[in-house]
Structure 1
């Protein structure tokens, strides 16, 4: 390959690599925030949970008290409608604060006040003052208790007045593009933030951080300490229960909320995690929360508040780190696409996708959240584009090789060179082949009578016809030797019944002699074919600068010797015993020579086809042959 060709090839590969890298980088950035990214993020969290140590021994800084089916159907609370639960909530709040809780968060929007309810029959406000205990609790614990509001519902004015403007906080949560809650963006000043989560985080002693993702290791509804509202109230009736409640509440932020199935439920980032085993020990110190396919909103809030307090969070990586990651994988993908063979591209793509998930997984261990799909997307897209472009380039290169070298090499050899993208290695393999030597009879005398230009024209006409017969019979032209051709069947391509295909080609070659005489104007033009089958060394020989595909060994030497015998016997087609055996008796074979060839220890027989009208070993038929041919045939038998 010339320097110009090398430079052009390098430029093409560089253009492919740059295009693949650009496409990979674009794919990486487009995957950030895509609807499919969240699923991979949650699976990475699942993988991290399987790798990290069990954190069950870490005391959770947040606990949940639930208004659940157990509470609503209990003897103590079943007669109280849900909108009238304020008295029970006030009682539970006092119990928890007395037990050492840092603060209370009510994940309820108290949109009604019982003071406004009027008896429909008498018109009397018979429940006026019912909320007084709850309002007093809120007023007395301003700064330590908070109530919820949403974008569509606000607390009743009496509730808001009791808790104060700073005590009403929004419980809205952020959802990703797939509708799943995974992150929280706290305000710089947590205490002044309108967010419910920020207010409780400040109560727990947390500090403002950048937007973060929680990193739970288990389903939070089974991992965060929990008590039913009714159990909490009943536990306070005994000294033993109050002691257990102190273990449950001390130094914790407590959230109250509904844990009824499918009520205020969210899909959360913990959806693929395993559940924690049920708590053991005193019932008043914690129990199993109700299970559900989704996560109750109060547990989502509890986890978003508790995660920063325990350090189980990850903040988003900076844009420069994301760019470097995406660019590195795009470069690696482009390089892999150019270096990998076409058949292995799917395997390479799977490998780079798997490798793309390792940096985000490892980064979680350092509290850094990298885009979960960006690296895999950039690397795989770059690999596919580079691989497909290379295949297109190789296809074009293969067509060029076919056009340039089809006159010199077998198409099978050219295709193998194109597939390997390199010169074949020196050496070879043993294969059973059929070798033919085809030469122009009387070429020396022919060359004496004709000019050089005319000799070349005659030889080219002969070789053109002979070459067509060889190729159409799936043969391979090994080389041109002056006025002769060496051809091979079953190398480098696989050929079924190579002996028969070679004999078919030989018949066609001999049959074209009259047409060649007419075309060249040489009436004495004649051809001779010698065939032999056996094991030979098939491969590439030569040096670093030049090499060729050829067949070597004793089989080739015997074929050349058979050609000499055919010349001595004056016959057009001669074949060895292995070829004759492969043809069978129905071929009409006749022996023309038997003896021991030079360098061989065993006797060899040479045959021809009776249909060629030449000498054969059948005394009954000798009356039909010319006297000189009969003599040659008898001489062959005598020499055998």
Structure 2
């Protein structure tokens, strides 16, 4: 695995562990719980309503209260006898159970109380409301005679909202001996004919044994309640307030069992709950499906009963499980984001959000409540962490690239490498590169007669001037070896015109050297003369060296040839010698002439070498004539026509007496006349010096 891969793996492991720890602490501390509950409520509100038709409400509504108010001098309570009449009407209509969600604790006339006591005796499936003791206060029960008649048919109507003031849980077992179970549980037990309460251990299941009765059109087996450590279960909600069929209490008093639409209501096998639903009565709570409106207590009981019958208890994992799930999402997302480029990562983030949203909807329809905040928070956190790491890693890589190349290549090449770090070769690989070598002619003699500190100053001035030209043509300065400069092109960035850049660098370096020599002349210093050797070929380019110290460089035979060509200038009296490969690649940018078939020292195979004379189209008429005479002389020389070659060379020298190449060949002609080459001679020259 690469070092970058190891860093990413280490970051992934550390970030995933930190995410789990933070999520676990957040889950345990209830952080973001309010946001989760609010979003969960919206999901409940988006579900299609499906209130059970066999659960019917009898509402003590505004119409009922108005009627009672006129009859009893403003009191908002009905008499016990009127409750008895309604209970009789509902039970006689075939109701499986009747629950009265009103605590009948107010004093009444004996006859009034007796009417309700008799009704309770006639109908053992009637349950009354009570309130268990809270915070040291005693239980609030119906009048003693009524409570005695009801026996164990009392149910708690106590609700405890969650932190967001929303009721989600039913306190099935209160722990109060006077009112031991919830109103909804007591009503359901009555409907199922389970006269005895089961023993319960919390947390754990609480079972209501059924006689397999029929509620509406459904035959109900035993019912099991999954209770938590506080004796509660989570209730489902099957629609917003007003979802259940409702009969007005006033209509029931008159024996008219019709709903609010005027339709007759069949109560055979139904569970009927009587409760206050008037605007002047505030027995209301917010529930997940409220949509901003409070739900009456009696309707909350109806939802709890339907939940128990259907077994559709919303299931939500523990805080630790939520944290573990979100941490797993974080770890998987972080791994993906670390591997992907920004655009695919952003697309994956959007897709993950869409998938999570769909999963939440599907889960809520199946009664599973997923945490609505932690997983998306984990996704966003993973995205931010991944790209923060990548940004830091790229910044580190950019700094490394600047450190590696800032001293060797031009600033805008460095910037492009920073933007495209994949172009930086790790290790080495083969590619076609153009390499340039240059040094100062006669530098040894200059060094011998110059003070060391002054020599360093002069050398730095020269190297600054030469390096600036290399940078101007986007070259890479490989190294300085005394007075010598080694540079190359087409690495680390690809450059199609790399050969032309190298040749133009040599020409511009000579111009820069002329400027430098003018300054040196004003200081009374001797001029400097530089020579250049350039070759293009396949080389190994990359970071070469020890683990803790390496250079970005090129190596190979093609590199050595470039160095040999720089040294060969001395023999020909030239300043810029290039290989045939370089000259052909740069021909559109420069002009020159073929100089020789040269076998450099240490190599048996000869290569064509050329002198670069100037930019394309910029040769003077004098230089063009010299080039033409020499080219003809070279052809005669290779044909062994010594006389013709000599005549042409002298013509070239008559135009340019300082033409070192013509002078070199004139000397060769003199030697070869005396000592002709072998019959298989191909015109090549074998160098004896480097």
- Write the mapping of 1:271-310 to structure 2, written as runs, cut at 5 A: 271=290, 293-310=293-310
- Is 1:265 paired with 2:252? no
Structure 2, unaligned runs of 5 or more: 193-207, 209-223, 535-539, 555-565, 577-582, 594-611, 625-654, 661-690
Choose from 55, 59, 71 the match for 1:62.
55
User: For 2:225, what is the secondary structure of its paired residue?
Assistant: coil
Evaluate the alpha carbon distance shift between residue 189 and residue 112 of structure 1 in structure 2; reply closer, same or farther with a 3 A threshold: closer
Evaluate the alpha carbon distance shift between residue 356 and residue 427 of structure 1 in structure 2; reply closer, same or farther with a 3 A threshold: farther
Q: Which moved more, 1:362-371 or 1:34-43?
A: 362-371
- Is 1:79 paired with 2:70? yes
- Is 1:312 paired with 2:332? no
Structure 1 position 461, deviation (Å): 5.8
- Is 1:94 paired with 2:88? yes
- Write the mapping of 1:586-601 to structure 2, written as runs, cut at 5 A: none
Evaluate the alpha carbon distance shift between residue 491 and residue 82 of structure 1 in structure 2; reply closer, same or farther with a 3 A threshold: farther
User: For 2:526, what is the secondary structure of its paired residue?
Assistant: coil
What is the root-mean-square deviation in Å for CA atoms of aligned residues? 6.9
Separation of aligned partners in 2, 1:253 and 1:100: 10
Evaluate the alpha carbon distance shift between residue 31 and residue 318 of structure 1 in structure 2; reply closer, same or farther with a 3 A threshold: closer
- Is 1:208 paired with 2:225? yes
1:171 matched residue in structure 2 = 157
Structure 1 position 436, deviation (Å): 11
Structure 1 position 137, deviation (Å): 4.0
User: For 2:33, what is the secondary structure of its paired residue?
Assistant: coil
User: For 2:467, what is the secondary structure of its paired residue?
Assistant: helix
- Write the mapping of 1:334-345 to structure 2, written as runs, cut at 5 A: 334-336=334-336, 338-341=338-341
User: For 1:331, what is the secondary structure of its paired residue?
Assistant: helix
Contact 1:510 1:528 in 2 (8 A): no
Separation of aligned partners in 1, 2:257 and 2:332: 67
Separation of aligned partners in 2, 1:420 and 1:176: 59
Choose from 409, 414, 418 the match for 1:415.
418
Contact 1:200 1:253 in 2 (8 A): no
- Is 1:160 paired with 2:146? no
Evaluate the alpha carbon distance shift between residue 197 and residue 526 of structure 1 in structure 2; reply closer, same or farther with a 3 A threshold: farther
- Write the mapping of 1:414-493 to structure 2, written as runs, cut at 5 A: 414-416=417-419, 446=443, 462-468=462-468, 470-471=470-471, 492=493
User: For 1:312, what is the secondary structure of its paired residue?
Assistant: coil
- Write the mapping of 1:28-39 to structure 2, written as runs, cut at 5 A: 29-30=28-29, 34-39=33-38
Contact 2:241 2:296 in 1 (8 A): yes
Separation of aligned partners in 1, 2:348 and 2:319: 28
Evaluate the alpha carbon distance shift between residue 326 and residue 425 of structure 1 in structure 2; reply closer, same or farther with a 3 A threshold: farther
User: For 1:146, what is the secondary structure of its paired residue?
Assistant: strand
- Write the mapping of 1:231-250 to structure 2, written as runs, cut at 5 A: 231-234=251-254, 236=256, 244-246=264-266, 248=267, 250=269
Separation of aligned partners in 1, 2:445 and 2:269: 119
Evaluate the alpha carbon distance shift between residue 59 and residue 570 of structure 1 in structure 2; reply closer, same or farther with a 3 A threshold: same
Choose from 70, 81, 97 the match for 1:103.
97
Separation of aligned partners in 2, 1:23 and 1:514: 67
Choose from 186, 199, 210 the match for 1:199.
186
Separation of aligned partners in 2, 1:40 and 1:420: 48
User: For 1:209, what is the secondary structure of its paired residue?
Assistant: strand
- Is 1:226 paired with 2:246? yes
Q: Which has the higher contact order (CA 8 A, sep 6+)?
A: 1
Contact 2:105 2:143 in 1 (8 A): no
1:536 matched residue in structure 2 = none
Q: Which has the larger radius of gyration?
A: 2
Normalised to the residue count of structure 1, the TM-score between the two structures is: 0.60
Structure 1 position 95, deviation (Å): 1.2
Structure 1, unaligned runs of 5 or more: 116-127, 273-291, 429-434, 532-538, 552-562, 583-589, 594-604, 618-626, 633-640
Q: Which moved more, 1:365-374 or 1:306-315?
A: 365-374
2:674 matched residue in structure 1 = none
1:254 matched residue in structure 2 = 273
Structure 1 position 38, deviation (Å): 0.5
User: For 2:161, what is the secondary structure of its paired residue?
Assistant: coil
1:560 matched residue in structure 2 = none
Contact 2:97 2:190 in 1 (8 A): yes
Q: Which moved more, 1:358-367 or 1:220-229?
A: 358-367
Structure 1 position 335, deviation (Å): 2.9
Structure 1 position 311, deviation (Å): 2.0
Contact 2:520 2:527 in 1 (8 A): no
Contact 1:476 1:488 in 2 (8 A): yes
Separation of aligned partners in 1, 2:470 and 2:273: 91
Normalised to the residue count of structure 2, the TM-score between the two structures is: 0.57
Structure 1 position 299, deviation (Å): 1.7
Q: Provide, for residues 339-387 of structure 1, a one-character-per-residue CA deviation record: whole Å limited to 9, x for no partner.
A: 3456766655555555556776666566555544444445554554455
Separation of aligned partners in 2, 1:420 and 1:138: 90
User: For 2:314, what is the secondary structure of its paired residue?
Assistant: strand
Contact 1:215 1:314 in 2 (8 A): yes
Contact 2:68 2:75 in 1 (8 A): no
Contact 2:428 2:543 in 1 (8 A): no
Evaluate the alpha carbon distance shift between residue 508 and residue 139 of structure 1 in structure 2; reply closer, same or farther with a 3 A threshold: farther
Structure 1 position 303, deviation (Å): 0.7
Q: Provide, for residues 68-87 of structure 1, a one-character-per-residue CA deviation record: whole Å limited to 9, x for no partner.
A: 344456xx667344524335
Separation of aligned partners in 1, 2:461 and 2:506: 17
